[in-house]
Amino acid sequence: MGKILVADYAQGQVHSLALDHAFRTISVQSVPSLQGPRYVSPVPRGGFVVSEECGDVKVFKSSHKLLSSLSSKYGHQFGNPAGVCVDTDGNILVADEQRRTVHLFPEHGAPICLVSTGLQRPAGMACSSSGHLFVADTVENCVKVFKYCARPPYRPTNTGASRADPNQTQRWGGEVVPL
C-alpha cells in the first residue's frame, strides 16, 4: 500500500509513513494516546490494528480514526495482547502473551480460540493466504506453525461448488493442529 506502520511504545503512538516509489517519506500521520502500543498490522481498506500492552486491541480506519476496540465490540478481556495480524478474509487474529492463546475475531460473530495449548510466550505472528498461522514463541525461541483454515475458500467456478452464500461459510471451523 506504500505505507510503513510503526508502533512507538515509548511515545504511545502509531506512525503511518507514506512512501514514494524510491522509498522516500511523503507524509507521516500519527495516532497518539495509545497505552503501550506493541504490534501493528494493516487491515483491508487501508486501516490498521494495534495491540496495547496489558490492555486492548484497537482497529483504526484509513483516516486514522478509531473504528473499534475488540474488548468493547466482543466483550473479550485480554491478559496481555501481543502479536496481531489480519487474514485474507479480514478476520483479526490476536496472540495473548499472558493467557498463552491465539483468538480469531471475525467481522461478525463471536471470537474463536484457535490455539489454547502449546504456546509458552506468543509474540509476533503472521497468517498466510493458505490458512497457516505463524506464531513466534519467545520462550522456546522458535516459530510455531498452525493450520487454522479448515476448508478451501469458496470458488464459484469449481464444479459442484456449494451454492451457499460464501459470506456465511465458516472457513476457520474445526481444530487447529500444529504442522
Q: What is the largest CA-CA distance in the chain?
A: 54
Task: Give me the chain's average pLDDT, please.
Answer: 86
CATH at 168: 2.120.10.30
* pLDDT at residue 156 in the model: 56
* pLDDT at residue 102 in the model: 97
Domain-located, residue 76: yes
Domain-located, residue 147: yes
- Better-scored residue on pLDDT, 55 or 56: 56
Percentage of the residues of the chain whose pLDDT score is greater than 70: 83
pLDDT digits (tens, 9 = 90+) for 112-127: 999 999 999 999 999 9
Domain-located, residue 6: no
- Better-scored residue on pLDDT, 156 or 55: 55
Q: How far is 98 from 81, CA to CA, in rounded Å?
A: 8
* pLDDT at residue 172 in the model: 42
Q: Is the pTM of this model over 0.85?
A: no
* pLDDT at residue 46 in the model: 87
Q: Whole domain around residue 45: which residue ranges? A: 35-178
CB atoms within 10 A of CB 25: 10
Q: How far is 51 from 122, CA to CA, in rounded Å?
A: 13
Domain-located, residue 9: no
Question: For the chain, how many structural domains are there in total?
Answer: 1
Position 179 confidence tier, pLDDT thresholds 50, 70, 90: low
Q: Give the pLDDT mean for 156-176.
A: 41
Domain-located, residue 23: no
